[in-house]
Amino acid sequence: MDSGSKVFTVDLLERYAAKGHGVVTCMAAGNDVTMWGTSKGWIIRHDFGLGDSYGIDLCGGRTGDQSIHSVFVDPGGSHCIATIVGDGGAETFYIHAKWSKPPSTKEIILGTNNGQLHEMAVDEKDKREKYIKLLYELSELPEAFMGLQMETASISTGTRYYVMAVTPRRLYTFTGIGSLESVFLGYQDRAVRFMELPGENLSSELHFFIKQKRAIHFAWLSGAGIYHGDLNFGASHSSQDGDENFVENKALLDYSKLFDGAEAVKPSSLAISEYHFLLLVGNKVKVVNRISEQIIEELHFHLTSESSSKGILGLCSDASAGLFYAYDQNSIFQVSVNDEGRDMWKVYLDMKEYAAALANCRDALQRDQVYLAQAEVAFSTKDFLRAASFFAKDALRTFLLWKVDSLSKDDKCQITMISTWATELYLDKINRLLLEDDTSGDHNSEYWSLIKEFRAFLSDSKDVLDEATTLMLLESYGRVDELVYFASLKGQYEIVIHHYIQQGEAKKALEVLEKLGVPIHLQYKFAPDLIMLDAYETVESWMIRKDLNPRKLIPAMMRYSSEPHAKNETHQVIRYLEYCVHSLNNEDPGIHNLLLSLYAKQEDDSALLRFLQSKFSKVRENSPEFFYDPKYALRLCLKEKRMRACVHIYGMMSMHEEAVALALQVDPELAMAEADKVEDDEELRKKLWLMIAKHVVGQEKGAKRENIRKAIAFLKETDGLLKIEDILPFFPDFALIDDFREAICSSLEDYNKQIELLKEEMNDATQGADNIRNDIGALAQRYAIIERDEECGVCQRRILNTAADFGISRGYASLGPMAPFYVFPCGHAFHAQCLIAHITQCTDPEKAEHILDLQKQLSLVSGETRRDSDGSLTVHEPVASMNQVDKIRSQLDEEIASECPFCGELMIQEISLPFILPEEHEVNSWEIKLLNPTNQKSISLSV
């Protein structure tokens, strides 16, 4: 191995990881999430992706010692199972990263200490398991299950399960098609496959190495050694008893090969990477190459003094992130991998496995070394012809590749021509190898090595090769896989996706669609085929994308929904539509209508009712509470006979009579609830309750007295809205009045109370009317006394001046020789002319003009007194009737005498007016007169 740089490196991740909750006892990881248990019953969770960390107390107030014995995390990092051991025994808990989003645990297999396997699933709604059932039990040799791994594969006939389980001495394998329960039921009639190894290991562990979301090999830490091999899910060959054999290239790595000395040391923990085993031996981790079975590195950890006594407790791996972890009582260490496959070609070369060496070569120099080694071996065995072929391996192709590298970037045409020539040489060589009869051994290895080399050439030359010409060459030689590979390199995603769909590889097609730069329209184009091929993975891919328009996916969803589905199968379209409606806050009526139609077709109408009762107005202000078409929803629910849903829709559309009538066919309690929803229309509410009452009375088939008792009880539920007389017409004519005596008496008592209450209200009203009449009579006798020297509040002259001094018309009340005046309850008095002048000056222009107009009308219609040129007074006769005069005078009184100008609103408004008006700014001096409203004294200020 290259000693220039380490493949595995150790870094301290966290010191004092227990956070004061004891010491670390166990650990697990998945998808950049680490979880470890402590000796005081706590689970510490750290999410490197989100950067948050928190603890969970599983003790729940229990007394005594409580320690986390083991913790398990799924590869996605969301689901966790932890076992706590205390004085009262052991308990197992399920934890989900975000309970706010309903988790889908799928099937979980649990192994027990007494050799049982159980299946369970967790329901987010009730925060507990949906079910748990026994799958299998070891009867011949009941031992504790120490490790479990499961994989699934989608095939044309359903889902195939692959399960591996280990005890201290055995490794069991189970496989079958259908459900987990049916898979294990099949083993009641046939023998279970297992591998038994001598020796017992209390630290027995089973690990899968996962690459691109698929397990490719396994390792079992057994008492005899590390039993490992490759996993081929979906292999075409089968065993004699019909079970599919998915374990290949099995081998046992004996501990004695790894350690010096007569007695082999057994590791206490194991982790597995693509090419290596990580073995915990004491406080060190020895890295062993899985192929060569040689120790390549040794990892050391800096332990604190508190942890040195027990040392490193265990290892765990994060398959999704490609990381490994080690932990002691106080610290968490991270083990990183740096390009562990870089020297694998040399490992295979040293083992003389030339085909594998060529497959792992990364450049022409490495391939030349492999060819040279093969040539030397052939030459040493005097196979000179074969040696010559290796020495001169593909000379023309090698020359062309060397020539391309030596050309300048400006020679684009030459580079393209030579690269195309090299492409055809590669294709010709590949076809010649395929035509050779011997397809095993070196020829087959050479074929796959050449395929890998050709793909590397296509990748390096993708920018200089002519796209159309290269695709045509690949197609003419029938190299479909390489055509897809090159199309992917050139961004011809439609060709790639179509190929994967044709091959039934939905996951690969979806991975292409998820790449950056893939046009969004391809999502919609291939959606119908992908959802039929793998509905779950397709919906998962849709939910990851935030730029999809769900409306354009409706054709694909409709096609999937038209196919029959198992009753207990999760409807993937419903799952996606719920995500659109609740998580994306989608307001498209088409999406809401489709989800409603799928709900309506389910046997259980609970989801349909929850959807109809949901309000979606939280999305934005002034948005409607729902987005589906209520008329369409009503037709659909009537067609599917979802009567409760129809009742809700009728009520929502304010068709309350129809809602109650339909609800009575389903459940009278539902009808009562619908009737109570009408609150602002008492008449309609009573009508609805009468419909219910008629139904209740008509449905009673028991004894007459019992029927009446139930009818009376029903009246009480109406909160007094219905009386006994309202429901009497619903009883048969031959019913005896004695049967209703109690109810009628009760009703009459209520009426009597109401009558007494009305009498009291009438007496109060009569008394109030008398008081009002007395007040009116007293008002007619009110008067005011004017002193002889009483002054006008405006002109300061005596109120009792003669009318001739003011030239007053006859329209005002006749007071003899005195001028007409107004007296207010506050004591202020004003001449009529002075009051008019003051109010027109202080009020707004529009009202002032109206007052002057009324005064003018009053003068014209009532006659007026004018002073002639010789000083004599002339009286003009009135031109209108007294009724008209009184009407105009009443209007004028209303305008000027409704309130005292010194004590009313007019005076309050004058507070905000300036002392100096705008037109008075140019005046050099002015006089301010302050008037005291109480004693009518004024003070003049000259400025």
Three-class DSSP labels, 474-521: HHHCCCHHHHHHHHHHCCCHHHHHHHHHHCCCHHHHHHHHCCCCCCCH
d(CA 237, CA 245): 7
Report whether 490 contacts 464 (CB < 8 A).
Answer: no
Q: Which pLDDT value is given to residue 295?
A: 92
Q: What is the DSSP letter of 264?
A: P
3-state DSSP percent of the chain in helix, strand and coil, to 5: 40, 20, 35
Q: Which pLDDT value is given to residue 163?
A: 92
Q: Which pLDDT value is given to residue 526?
A: 92
Q: What radius of gyration do the chain's Cα atoms show?
A: 50
Bridge partners (DSSP) listed for residue 244 = 238
Residue with tokens 């599919």: 244
Residues 502, 506, 512, 513: is their CA dihedral positive or negative? Answer: positive
Three-state secondary-structure class, residue 300: strand
d(CA 499, CA 486): 12
Output b/e per residue, 217-256; b: 16+ Cβ within 10 A.
Answer: bbbbbbbbbbbbbebbbeeeeeeeeebbebbeeeeebebe
d(CA 458, CA 486): 7
Q: Which pLDDT value is given to residue 373?
A: 85
Q: Which pLDDT value is given to residue 814?
A: 46
Mean pLDDT by 10 residues, the chain (943 residues): 74 89 93 92 89 85 82 88 85 78 69 90 68 88 90 82 92 90 87 86 88 89 92 61 71 84 74 94 92 92 79 90 92 92 92 90 78 83 74 62 75 87 84 65 69 87 88 87 85 86 88 87 91 90 90 90 70 90 88 90 87 71 77 89 87 84 81 76 74 69 52 60 58 53 65 80 86 77 82 89 56 60 88 90 88 85 57 55 81 87 83 62 52 52 49
Single-letter amino acid, residue 489: L
Q: Which pLDDT value is given to residue 917?
A: 57
For residue 399, what are its two tokens?
Answer: 């020359």
Bridge partners (DSSP) listed for residue 254 = 225
d(CA 830, CA 838): 10
Report whether 268 contacts 281 (CB < 8 A).
Answer: yes
Give the angle 161-231-362 at the CA atoms, nearest 5°: 140
For residue 334, what are its two tokens?
Answer: 């991270």
Instruction: With 0.85 as the threshold, say if the pTM is over it.
Output: no
For residue 30, what are its two tokens?
Answer: 């998945």
